[in-house]
Structure 1
Amino acid sequence: MRGLCLTIVCFLIWGSEYGNAQLPAEKWAMPFYDGAVETPSISNLNDSVLFAGDSAGNPQFYFQDVEAEVCEDKLCFPVEITLFWDVAGEFLAFHVSENTPLTKADHVLFTKYDYYQLFQLLNSPDSKLARYKKADLVQHNRKNTGAVDAVSGATVRIAKEPMVNGAAFTCFSLWNIVYRQNPVPQPGGMKQLDKEAMEDGLENPAKLSACELTVLLNQAHREKKLRKLSVQKQLTAQLSKMNPLQCLLVSNYLNRQNYIYPEAAEDLRSCTKIERTFARMIP
């Protein structure tokens, strides 16, 4: 009965919004899987947003190919990236092709650490960037650097934010797409899990589908249950039994907490599935 409750919630999310026809067969690079994924389980949500389901038709995540100008002075190359959201509309991951790597000032390629900083920023819904508009960043940059690069924003820094040095407007633009311009419809009227379903899901997260796990983690986050040491360890202790997508969901939601206990943080750091997933996100 507990598992049925979670399944019904996912069915409501899927059935109420996503009945569109599937796309023609094509392959897509997904960082959660080895190789490419064919589209029989991928449905069109609108003109640009796609929704992926598993072989049984259960929803897993949204994704969108994005091409965006990030600088008004044309000093930056356009950004080409695929962004992923979970079924609750929260940031999940990105994918950058080796043919279109991200660049910084003077067209210097992003390093692995730069990509990691970008990932941290995009996984921060409460970032201080929410207080800024692009014009604010330009003024902030002029104040600190004079007229040089005032529009491209190459050297803008925001205190305690993981901004990539030399790519401030790339960071700013992508964060805004993920959060302010989020093209994913937010699930309305999502059924709340009862205490029994919540406890069972936290004890056995590896047995849940990606949709069920997202519903569980999203509610546990809103109810501040993920801040507890016992819950954090309960989840990370199961990472070895989870697939890469499940591991990433757990990692993302825990990293949005105000504090991750050292024991849980070490489990996340040592999870090779998360490490391999990130390696597949970048060129």
Structure 2
Amino acid sequence: MFHYFKVMYKISYACKYFHYLLTSGHSKGYGVHSPFVYDFITRVLNGPDIADYKHIEKLMEELSNDFSELYILDMGAGSSSGSGKIRTPASIVKLTSIPPKYGRLLARLVGWLLPSTIIELGTGAAISTMYMAITDEKCRIFSIEGCPETGRLAQQNIAKLNLRNIEIITGSFNEILPSILQKIHHDLLVFIDGDHRGDRLISYVESILPCTNENTVIVLDDIRWSRSMEKAWKNIIWRKEISLSIDLFRMGILLPKRNMFKQHYVIKY
């Protein structure tokens, strides 16, 4: 039965991606009237890589072959491929880490925005964390991870790359996020990838919005992971606080409180 649902999920996801390919555009920036979005397309989506990622991607490869057992406390919605209490670094990388294509996208986004602070909800093996950290060592990253054992794995990975601008905080997003937001009064990038329940996603965004300014950018991963995530994405982009939203199929990007008319772009990536 599980195999049946797994196959049906893959078919449904493929159909959604095919629809996205048919309806998306602007991959080179043609016809885009927003200067911000045009700059985003040319410098972030299609721009050159601005750091050396080979150490991160080599570490990903090593972790993918590490089958030592870890006891996992899953405080999010788990994975579409199933969730168990015993996992390996290999399975954590497979189920929670973003692929290099999107890791490099995050890195270019950080290099373009140059935020003073990044908040990440969902550290996992710290792959996305390291992509963002390696781009700008002046930027401080607070990464919240719900599982202590996964947090320790993330710390080990960060130490291997000798990255010093990352702070891993273990605990509940709902408890830790407000305390971090209270301390931040400057440009902020938020990356949410740790809880795949649509209602929780809406709740996190609602917590963040009062603390944003015109330079804040919020990135949501896995917006089509489930029906509830897709529904949450559609709910969020039509909130009055969101001035600009960009749909990249896997990722969604939000710009709140911009002095502009409300705009939504579906861009092929």
What's the TM-score bracket when you normalise by the shorter of the two chains?
under 0.3
Q: Name the structure, 1 or 2, with higher relative contact order (CA <8 Å, separation 6+).
A: 1
Task: Name the TM-score, length of structure 2 as normaliser.
Answer: 0.27
Task: Name the TM-score, length of structure 1 as normaliser.
Answer: 0.26
Q: Which has the larger radius of gyration?
A: 1
